[in-house]
Amino acid sequence: MTTMTNSTDGLAAQKSRDTGIMATSYLTIARPPHELILESGEKLGPVTLAYETYGCLNTAKSNAILVLHALSGDAHAAGYHQGADNPGWWHNMIGPGKAFDTDRYFVVCSNVIGGCKGSTGPSSINPQSGQPYGLDFPVISVKDMVQAQSCLLDYLGIDKLLCAAGGSMGGMQVLQWAVSFPERVRAAIPIATAAKHSPQQIAFNEVGRQAIMADPNWNGGRYYNTAPPARGLAVARMIGHITYMSDASMAAKFGRRTQNGGQGVKFSPEFEVEGYLQYRGDNFIKRFDANSYLYITEALDHFDIANGSSLSEVLGKATGTSFLVIAFKSDWLYPAYQSLEIVKACQRANLDVTYCEVNSTYGHDAFLIEIEEEEHLIKHFLRRVSGD
Amino acid sequence: MTTMTNSTDGLAAQKSRDTGIMATSYLTIARPPHELILESGEKLGPVTLAYETYGCLNTAKSNAILVLHALSGDAHAAGYHQGADNPGWWHNMIGPGKAFDTDRYFVVCSNVIGGCKGSTGPSSINPQSGQPYGLDFPVISVKDMVQAQSCLLDYLGIDKLLCAAGGSMGGMQVLQWAVSFPERVRAAIPIATAAKHSPQQIAFNEVGRQAIMADPNWNGGRYYNTAPPARGLAVARMIGHITYMSDASMAAKFGRRTQNGGQGVKFSPEFEVEGYLQYRGDNFIKRFDANSYLYITEALDHFDIANGSSLSEVLGKATGTSFLVIAFKSDWLYPAYQSLEIVKACQRANLDVTYCEVNSTYGHDAFLIEIEEEEHLIKHFLRRVSGD
């Protein structure tokens, strides 16, 4: 039996039907003995989850949608935080009349464990030492992220989700939800994702990790009282951003244009694309923890939902779940063939599955950009599965 | 008028018809005032070029083929150096009966300026200071590399090449040869290359440069008397190796197999693909100079042979040059569309051009691997253009 404490009164504030000014809430899971047993067998506790909700839960508690974020995302999926210029990461998709229509649905977004945006992660205080965990934080998996989220749903009184949806790492969590808790997921929307990481996907993450660990400031993960490994983390993020765009979208956005008149100190950014990567890298280090980057990318690389069994057998556990699988033509980080593997496994397992490969040039970022296409697909799918 | 001094008697040794044991020769260009005027307007001197030759120059001096190397290559294209286990980088392509048949042709391979394999580069001694250049080395371009090579041909007494051939950066030099010295190039074989770097190609190089410059040992390029920026350079090389392979070739070679029983220190390489990248990175730092990596990748990123004019107009200067353009289907670093741009420009300029997209899964590395296909294409092409 799970009991919880809620550290803010954010729920009330979030019941406003427009997703205007939002605040993140924090739930500390109070399952005795106040810890999760992780996939590795290790224990983690206490565990706090940052989350936000949008729209209203109906009396039947049948309209809840869990939205799951990507590698660097957080609980703030929609609306604006007080004083902030930028809205949540999927703002265009969540709100009245939008793909995840908050006039109809109660949308929950939870930050993952291992992260650094309010949920327990390597920068959290280790109760054993009174210091930040650093590398004493246990290895976590996508399955562990989902297990923690299930406690949040327990707390919110949601037995069964109408839908779990997310792109990239969010899509992996969607698949894990359908496999770990098939009875709790009416519908699943994995977007721009994979049932397992390919060696190329592992390789890109590994180079990012090596860049972080090569930074002397990383210091074996012990940097919370000193300067963090900012340059290493910035390099990791720059690699990421290349893989999030397509060759064509980079050509359209930057071409070979130069900035600052193309002049400057030797090897300083000169092409616009170089300036963009530097900007993205420099921004990221202000808001993300390098150890979280290591832990979360490791969780992604170890993700293999079939884990030696056949994918259709494993996904086949979700007998009552309908799937909408979305991929994007120019996404070379999570290529469409990986989505098709999921679709074919669902078909072999006789599950209800719909597939769409959206004809986008935006690369992996498309799941954040191709709002119109996604809205069209998702709205119809949700109405069908909810019987509206 | 150009005069030269040859610092070894390597030419004689290299006249052996089999490319068995080879030695690199070094030519110091002695053009008064012993310097090159670079594209930037800066002067560089003295300039030494490392080179090797295979086969014999005929009396008409009409059978010379200049082979041009990629980013991390060197003058050692074929045969074995004394005591070495590994042959030159295009050994399978150069030798008696091979694609570049040393029974018929006199093959020359020259290391580029800016490099660190015997030619003048940032690790060479700056005559002004008596210390290694470091960042005082002037910016160099692909055009400058080719200008230096033209002095080598002068020295070797070769007025006109039967052919210039190379892959990747070698292919850019081929194009530059055809444009800078159209009267000296009978045939050109640019392989897996581009007429200009795309923003995606620039972006990958930029992240590599940032990884190097983020290493405190880089120290603004002044590290020749201290520990070099090995970890930064290793990360740069790891990024490179991901881009040299394809998603499919990585899947075939590594899958999701783990090494060391999949156990080890947290975040140490666990998947085979991680171990491979680490091995490649660690090997590279033993043989390459980080500043050369910066200078050469900058030369690539700035390469744009049309440079504001139309590509067909610029390539059209090579009225007497026949082109064989080769691309590889799975090469996503230098995608086939970039080769097709070259082909179409040649066609618009009414040049003799042959194109082949080889159906390979090896990615960009294919130009080093798909020997059989290349040999077939190149042998026929060379016989046709040489009138044999």
For chain B (length 388 residues), average pLDDT per consecutive 10?
43 47 87 83 95 96 98 97 94 96 97 97 96 98 98 96 98 98 98 98 98 98 97 98 98 94 82 96 96 98 96 97 98 98 98 98 98 97 92
Assess contact for A50 and A117: CB atoms under 8 A.
yes
What does the block give as tokens for A367?
A: 């799941």
Name the residue among B245, B271, B332 with its Cβ closest to that of A301. B271
CB contact under 8 A, B256 and A304: yes
CA distances from B4 to B22, B109, B151 (A): 22, 17, 8
First to last CA, chain A: 33
Q: Any CB–CB contact under 8 A between B296 and chain A?
A: no
Assess contact for A49 and A24: CB atoms under 8 A.
no
Assess contact for B170 and B67: CB atoms under 8 A.
yes
Categorize the per-residue pLDDT at A3 as very low, low, confident or very high, splitting at 50, 70 and 90.
very low
In chain B, CATH 3.40.50.1820 covers 4-196+305-386
What does the block give as tokens for B338?
A: 């970039």
d(Cα B149, Cα B114) in Å, to the nearest integer? Answer: 13
| Comparison of pLDDT for A170 and A14, the residue scoring more | A170
Partners of B190 in the β-ladder: B166
Q: pLDDT, tens digit, for every residue of A92-136?
A: 999 999 999 999 999 999 999 999 999 999 999 999 999 999 999
Q: What is the DSSP letter of B184?
A: G
* pLDDT for the residue numbered B6: 47
Q: Any CB–CB contact under 8 A between A335 and chain B?
A: yes
Assess contact for A239 and A267: CB atoms under 8 A.
no
d(Cα A189, Cα A265) in Å, to the nearest integer? Answer: 48
In chain B, CATH 1.10.1740.110 covers 200-300
Q: Which superfamily, per CATH, for A4-197+305-386?
A: Alpha/Beta hydrolase fold, catalytic domain (3.40.50.1820)
* pLDDT for the residue numbered A263: 67
* pLDDT for the residue numbered B9: 43
Q: pLDDT, tens digit, for every residue of A234-264?
A: 999 999 999 999 999 999 999 999 997 666 7
Tokens 């976590």 belong to A140
d(Cα B242, Cα B279) in Å, to the nearest integer? Answer: 13
Assess contact for A190 and A175: CB atoms under 8 A.
yes
Give which of B263, B274, B301 to mutate to test A binding, by max A Cβ within 10 Å.
B274
* pLDDT for the residue numbered A375: 98
In chain A, CATH 3.40.50.1820 covers 4-197+305-386
What does the block give as tokens for A167?
A: 């792109």
Q: Any CB–CB contact under 8 A between B42 and chain A?
A: no
Assign 3-class secondary structure to chain A: CCCEEECCCHHHHCCCCCCCEECCEEEEECCCCCCEECCCCCEECCEEEEEEEECCCCCCCCCEEEEECCCCCCCCCCCEECCCCCCCCCHHHEECCCCEECCCCEEEEECCCCCCCCCCCCCCEECCCCEECHHHCCCCCHHHHHHHHHHHHHHHCCCCECEEEEECHHHHHHHHHHHHCHHHECEEEEECCCCECCHHHHHHHHHHHHHHHHCHHHHHHCCCCCCCCHHHHHHHHHHHHHHHCCHHHHHHHCCCCECHHHCCCCCCCCEHHHHHHHHHHHHHHHHCCHHHHHHHHHHHHHCECCCCCCHHHHHCCCCCCEEEEEEECCCCCCCHHHHHHHHHHHHHCCCEEEEEEECCCCHHHHHHHCHHHHHHHHHHHHHHHHCC
Q: What is the mean pLDDT of chain A?
A: 93
Number of cross-chain residue pairs from A and B with Cβ atoms under 8 Å apart: 142
The yes-or-no verdict on residue A6 having pLDDT over 90 is no
d(Cα B249, Cα A200) in Å, to the nearest integer? Answer: 9
What does the block give as tokens for A203?
A: 């390789």
Q: Which amino acid is at A345?
A: A
> β-pairing, A4-6 with A25-29?
antiparallel
- In chain A, residues with a C-beta closer than 8 Å to the C-beta of B236 are none
Give which of B212, B247, B294, B301 to mutate to test A binding, by max A Cβ within 10 Å.
B247
Assess contact for A137 and A130: CB atoms under 8 A.
no
With a CB-CB cutoff of 8 Å, which residues 71-100 of chain B face chain A? none
Q: Any CB–CB contact under 8 A between B281 and chain A?
A: yes
- CATH number assigned to the domain covering B200-300: 1.10.1740.110
Active site residue B241: no
- CATH number assigned to the domain covering B4-196+305-386: 3.40.50.1820
* pLDDT for the residue numbered A33: 63
Give which of B136, B206, B294 to mutate to test A binding, by max A Cβ within 10 Å.
B206
pTM of the model: 0.94
d(Cα B172, Cα B201) in Å, to the nearest integer? Answer: 14
Q: Which amino acid is at A303?
A: F
* pLDDT for the residue numbered B263: 67
Catalytic choice (A74, A289, A301, A331): A331
The yes-or-no verdict on residue A9 having pLDDT over 60 is no
What does the block give as tokens for B308?
A: 């504001």
Q: What is the DSSP letter of B277?
A: H
Assess contact for A357 and A377: CB atoms under 8 A.
no
